[in-house]
Chain A
Amino acid sequence: MDAHQRNVIPSLETAGSSSSFLDFVTQNNPGLLPFGRPLPAGQLPPVPHGTTIVALTFAGGVVMAGDRRATMGTMIANRHIEKVFPADRYSVLGIAGTAGIAIDIVRLFQVELEHYEKIEGTLLSLEGKANRLGAMIRANLPMALQGLSVVPLFAGVETASREGRLFSYDVTGGRYIELEHHSVGSGSVFARGALKKLWRPDMDAATAVAVAVESLVDAADDDSATGGPDLVRKLWPVVYVVTDDGATRVSEEALAAAVQQIVDRRMVEGREA
């Protein structure tokens, strides 16, 4: 009886979920998803792990930065990895944890947001985006229990507002609003300490980028899994600035200048930390 009643308006019944790419793929093509497959018992060989991501708000938006290192046990697996991505025009996400799954979750999340926008003709609200990301992390929980956890950091600007907002997650998909600044990954404790001292209300974008880079330098100083700026290879953190004008990647030149400034100052000071 109940089932019969629900079938009276078939299109409305499915309409609620049809704007979601995740729901569509889960129903029709579950093999494409990065998670959701049962893992057989066994020992997982070392796989690359992404490390530290920091994000902070400034007057007019939010900045997110991530170092470039992936580690596999005690070995450096990759020096060039990028762990901060634009999710859509007005939001970015960074990921720490098992790199292989994390990067696929990012791809899935990007398609999810674009899919919704194309089907519905409007952008999701920032809270809505944050909730969709939480659903994906929760779907990954069985994998997290096997040691393949992914912990993202999500930041964005609500369209038609100039206020940047941060969301952190735990492996169960729990979503938490963060104020001022936040960091995830193995170097996050050290980055957070630096952010607490460096962050000021109403910074401009350039200062916020410098603060983000300096907190990553501090994290790399104390955490072996976090890569600092590499002056020899000219490798800088990946930094995105999100304002009501959209998300833009900070140029290599600007980052090189910011890093050089930090290095020069610390050289002159010549202190232990």
Chain B
Amino acid sequence: MSQQFYVSPEQVMKDRADFARKGIARGRSVVVLGYGGGVALVAENPSPTLHKIGEIYDRIGFAAVGKYNEFESLRQAGVRYADVRGYSYDRSDVSARGLASVYAQSLGTVFTAEQKPFEVELAVAEVGATQAEDHIFRLTFDGSIADESGYLAMGGKAEIVQQKLADTWEPGATLAQVLKWAVDALQAPHQDGSDSSNGAESLGAANLEMAVLERNVVEVRGTHRAFRRLGPDAVQQMLASGGGD
């Protein structure tokens, strides 16, 4: 029987957390912001097909950073959870809070029980009837869950992006305005860095993935699905309009 060295639980957890944090910090950031007409999800993502943002259910959207295969399997599991729940009860009984707590449980279990923790951080957003009723949940690799008010940044140099959002974000903005705030925030780490090599590079529509959860979508569009992806053309148009305030 091979002898096992004693490692304190604190050390095990710390090692796992450091490992996950490193993986998440390697990627690019994603921001989620509430605005007057709903919730906007914006990601820095050069790929037009490998999405970091997805639809879960009628009023619920999903955004993630980290390892693609890990958060993609979580997204699909979330869609299954929501669809089964909505089918067996009613569409209105699927809530972001329920989904977020299921995600938290899975992430927590994987963090302690599996060979390696998931290197992902998730956001679950739900659009409500008014901006005060919107919910944005942050789920981290260890299963912690946080109810964020109004906006959230994760992945990459998340603290810088989050700080930038904290400085600019206000409730009741228009979509073009929050898009501008989002792009400014996503660019903040580039400009902040000591290297000026890519500091001047600005984020264009080609490098942005964007979707919105629209408020009152039943009345406005006659559909129950609030999630709508915005193509590069629409994003470009909005960036050009500037969202001047």
Q: B-contacting residues of A (Cβ < 8 Å)?
A: 18, 21, 24-25, 28-29, 32, 89, 107-108, 111, 114-115, 118-119, 121, 248
B76 in the interface, Cβ–Cβ < 8 Å? yes
Q: A-contacting residues of B (Cβ < 8 Å)?
A: 49, 51, 54-56, 76, 79-80, 83-84, 86-88, 222-223, 225
Distance between Cα atoms of A192 and B49 in the complex (Å): 46
Distance between Cα atoms of A111 and B86 in the complex (Å): 9
Asked if B83 and A21 make an inter-chain contact with CB atoms under 8 angstroms apart, the answer reads yes
The 25 listed contacts between A and B (C-beta, < 8 Å) are A21-B83, A21-B87, A24-B80, A24-B84, A25-B84, A29-B84, A29-B88, A32-B87, A32-B88, A89-B223, A107-B87, A111-B86, A111-B87, A114-B83, A114-B225, A115-B79, A115-B80, A115-B83, A118-B54, A118-B55, A118-B56, A118-B79, A119-B76, A121-B51, A248-B222
Q: How far is the CB of B40 from chain A (nearest CB, A)?
A: 19
Q: How far is the CB of A5 from chain B (nearest CB, A)?
A: 23
Distance between Cα atoms of A60 and B87 in the complex (Å): 33
Determine the chain B residues whose CB is within 8 A of the CB of A121 once the complex forms.
49, 51
Distance between Cα atoms of A111 and B83 in the complex (Å): 7
Determine the chain B residues whose CB is within 8 A of the CB of A89 once the complex forms.
223
Which of A28, A118, A248 has its CB near the most chain B CB atoms (within 10 A)?
Answer: A118
Q: A118-B54, A118-B55, A121-B51 are in contact. Are A18 and B76 (CB under 8 A)?
A: yes
Asked if B84 and A32 make an inter-chain contact with CB atoms under 8 angstroms apart, the answer reads yes
Determine the chain A residues whose CB is within 8 A of the CB of B222 once the complex forms.
248
Determine the chain B residues whose CB is within 8 A of the CB of A111 once the complex forms.
83, 86-87
Which of B87, B88, B222 has its CB near the most chain A CB atoms (within 10 A)?
Answer: B87
**Please, which residue of chain A has its CB at the minimum distance from the CB of B223?**
A89
Determine the chain A residues whose CB is within 8 A of the CB of B76 once the complex forms.
18, 119
Distance between Cα atoms of A248 and B55 in the complex (Å): 23
Distance between Cα atoms of A25 and B76 in the complex (Å): 14
Determine the chain B residues whose CB is within 8 A of the CB of A108 once the complex forms.
87
Determine the chain A residues whose CB is within 8 A of the CB of B55 once the complex forms.
118
Distance between Cα atoms of A18 and B72 in the complex (Å): 13
Determine the chain A residues whose CB is within 8 A of the CB of B83 once the complex forms.
21, 111, 114-115, 118
Q: How far is the CB of B138 from chain A (nearest CB, A)?
A: 22
Asked if A119 and B79 make an inter-chain contact with CB atoms under 8 angstroms apart, the answer reads yes
Which 8 pairs, one residue from A and one from B, show the smallest C-beta to C-beta distance? A118-B79, A115-B83, A111-B87, A118-B55, A32-B88, A111-B83, A119-B76, A21-B83
Which of A28, A32, A89, A121 has its CB near the most chain B CB atoms (within 10 A)?
Answer: A121
Q: How far is the CB of B82 from chain A (nearest CB, A)?
A: 9
Q: How far is the CB of B58 from chain A (nearest CB, A)?
A: 10
Distance between Cα atoms of A28 and B85 in the complex (Å): 13
Determine the chain B residues whose CB is within 8 A of the CB of A114 once the complex forms.
83, 225
Distance between Cα atoms of A24 and B88 in the complex (Å): 14
Q: How far is the CB of A253 from chain B (nearest CB, A)?
A: 16
Distance between Cα atoms of A118 and B49 in the complex (Å): 13
Q: How far is the CB of B124 from chain A (nearest CB, A)?
A: 14
**Please, which residue of chain B has its CB at the minimum distance from the CB of A19?**
B76
Distance between Cα atoms of A25 and B87 in the complex (Å): 10
Distance between Cα atoms of A121 and B54 in the complex (Å): 9
**Please, which residue of chain B has its CB at the minimum distance from the CB of A86?**
B223
Q: How far is the CB of A136 from chain B (nearest CB, A)?
A: 13
Determine the chain A residues whose CB is within 8 A of the CB of B54 once the complex forms.
118
Distance between Cα atoms of A25 and B84 in the complex (Å): 8
Determine the chain A residues whose CB is within 8 A of the CB of B80 once the complex forms.
21, 24, 115
Since A21-B87, A108-B87, A118-B56 are in contact, a sample of 16 more A-B pairs with Cβ atoms closer than 8 Å, ordered by chain A residue number, is A18-B76, A24-B80, A24-B84, A25-B84, A28-B84, A29-B84, A32-B87, A89-B223, A111-B87, A114-B225, A115-B80, A118-B54, A118-B55, A118-B79, A121-B49, A121-B51
**Please, which residue of chain A has its CB at the minimum distance from the CB of B224?**
A114
Q: How far is the CB of A254 from chain B (nearest CB, A)?
A: 16
Determine the chain B residues whose CB is within 8 A of the CB of A119 once the complex forms.
76, 79
Distance between Cα atoms of A32 and B84 in the complex (Å): 9
**Please, which residue of chain B has its CB at the minimum distance from the CB of A110?**
B87
Determine the chain B residues whose CB is within 8 A of the CB of A25 once the complex forms.
84, 87
Distance between Cα atoms of A121 and B62 in the complex (Å): 14
